[in-house]
Amino acid sequence: MNKIGIYGGSFDPVHHGHLILARDALEQLALDKIIFTPAAASPFKEAPMASADLRLAMLHAAIGKQDGFEIDDCELHRPPPSYTIDTVKEISARERDAKMVLLIGQDNVPGLPRWHRIDELKKLVRIVVLDRTGTNVSSDYEIIQRKIDISATEIRNRVARGLSIRYLVPAAVEEIIRQGNLYREGAK
């Protein structure tokens, strides 16, 4: 039986912190693959600054042909908001007999009780928290932890101020941000 991780988020932009923790989860949980699912719009966060097409292009650029990483853009084809339960059910229908592991960021844990159909979701997946803080966080869920002080907010702010984002994102993602004039002050 395959073990599949589902890693959702706005990925606005995808950065090395996302990729490092995804690789850690793949290895530590002995997953067969991780499916990155970019959200159209989270019910709990502001709308992404970059378009869905550009966020998807950045994910493809970041992941390339890495073994064990895939992308599923199913949420981008549904009307917002993006509900994790719908994504899990859609992927489960294609990945019959696979065990599903839902990878969520530590920042999402406090809001889990408000997630759409959370009780049903918990029956379908094993929830694992990806924590970049490096602090001793207690949780009811298994935690994959590594201190990585990189955030998409920091990256967007650095771009807006004209500062370098080299080493924070893959070079191919940096190029898409530059060519698309993303995250610049006043840019849409």
The residue to which tokens 């549904």 are assigned: 78
* C-alpha dihedral sign at 55, 56, 61, 67: positive
List the structure tokens of 26.
């793949």
Q: What 3-state DSSP class applies to 159?
A: helix
Instruction: Give residue 5's pLDDT band: very low, low, confident or very high (50, 70, 90).
Output: very high
Average pLDDT over residues 7-20: 96
Instruction: Give residue 161's pLDDT band: very low, low, confident or very high (50, 70, 90).
Output: very high
Every domain of the chain and the residues it spans: 3-149
Strand order in the sheet with 142-145: 69-71, 33-38, 3-9, 99-105, 126-131, 142-145
pLDDT digits (tens, 9 = 90+) for 66-78: 999 999 999 999 9
Instruction: Give residue 33's pLDDT band: very low, low, confident or very high (50, 70, 90).
Output: very high
Number of helical (H) and strand (E) elements in the chain, helices listed first: 6, 6
Rg (CA), the chain: 16
pLDDT digits (tens, 9 = 90+) for 87-102: 999 999 999 999 999 9
pLDDT digits (tens, 9 = 90+) for 128-156: 999 998 887 778 899 999 999 999 999 99
Average pLDDT of the chain to the nearest whole number: 93
What does the pLDDT read at residue 1?
84
List the structure tokens of 162.
């004209």
Helix extents (H) in the chain: 16-28, 52-63, 84-94, 118-124, 152-160, 171-179
Q: Which CATH architecture has domain 3-149?
A: 3-Layer(aba) Sandwich (3.40)
Phi-psi region of 161 (alpha: psi -120 to 50; beta: other; left: phi over 0): alpha
How much is the pTM? Answer: 0.93
Q: How many CA atoms lie within 13 A of 81 on its CB side?
A: 12
What does the pLDDT read at residue 188?
40
Q: What 3-state DSSP class applies to 3?
A: strand
Residues 104, 121 contacting (CB under 8 angstroms):
no
pLDDT digits (tens, 9 = 90+) for 110-129: 999 999 999 999 999 999 99
What does the pLDDT read at residue 186?
53
